[in-house]
Amino acid sequence: MKKIAVLISGSGSNLEAIANACNKKKIDGEISCVISNNSQAYGIERAKKLNLKSIIVDHNLFNDRSEFDDQIDKILVEEKIELVVLAGFMRILEKKITDKYFGRMINLHPSLLPLYPGLNTHKKVIKNKDNKHGVSIHYVSPELDAGPIIAQGSIKVKKNETAEDLQKRIHKIEHILLPEVINEICIGNIFLSNNSVKFKNKNITNHIINSYDE
């Protein structure tokens, strides 16, 4: 079983989905710690309810981003973490740490990358009148939301939907897809080789989800 660290900044709904999957043995791994840069994140309360070790690393208490990253790295080393999952973690990590964990750190991003890296993806979809929206899971690289894509899930954008409506529907995809991908990584079916995502078992169920259209 792989030792997993989940990094969060907000509500932690994906953290709960991962924890539930671990408890149901749907992930061949365990959450060793939850790290948040936000002491007020509701995800910390979720972690407590789930009896998970939680650590707050407030970015405001560091002189620069490098010191913050060093503290994150120190915890990951101390906890002997094998897989780092950024699930709603709203801090950009520097090259030093992303290079060190390249192939062992994944991120969940609420858009169909390469569309809309960064923030406010739901609003951008509405503004641009896109027909589709979705979520991407990718390996983390130094470039923002630009690492090799592992899996994507998509939905059709409904008429008169708001950004809040889309966010709720996207969360449903995230809670299904992220635990699946984590498990496949833990058992060695998904891995990174020469900057490309490889699938050991070509018949992996839903290794790339094309649609969850409702």
Domain containing residue 29: CATH number? 3.40.50.170
Looking at residue 199, its pLDDT comes to 87
Residue 17 in tokens: 């989905």
| Same domain, residue pair 86 and 20 | yes
115 within 8 A of 134, measured Cβ to Cβ: no
Sequence-distant (≥ 6) Cβ neighbours of residue 141 within 8 angstroms: 98, 102, 147, 148
Report the alpha-carbon distance of residue 127 to residue 103 in Å, rounded.
34
Distance of CA 213 to the CA centre of its chain: 22
Which of 30-39, 106-115, 188-197 comes out lowest in average pLDDT? 188-197
Cα–Cα separations (whole angstroms), residue 139 to 15, 63, 94: 18, 28, 14
- Of the chain, the percentage scoring pLDDT greater than 70 comes to 93
| Same domain, residue pair 214 and 114 | yes
| Same domain, residue pair 214 and 116 | yes
Structural domain count of the chain: 2
| Same domain, residue pair 95 and 115 | no
| Same domain, residue pair 93 and 161 | no
Looking at residue 9, its pLDDT comes to 98
Taking only the tens place, the pLDDT of each residue in 183-213 is 999 999 999 999 999 988 765 544 444 455 5
- Report the catalytic residues: 109
Looking at residue 77, its pLDDT comes to 98
The rounded mean pLDDT for the chain is 93
The reported pTM is 0.94
The mean pLDDT of 73-81, rounded to a whole number, is 98
| Same domain, residue pair 91 and 122 | no
Cα–Cα separations (whole angstroms), residue 114 to 46, 133, 147: 31, 12, 10
Domain stops at, among 101, 127, 153: 101
Residue 187: which domain range?
110-136+145-214
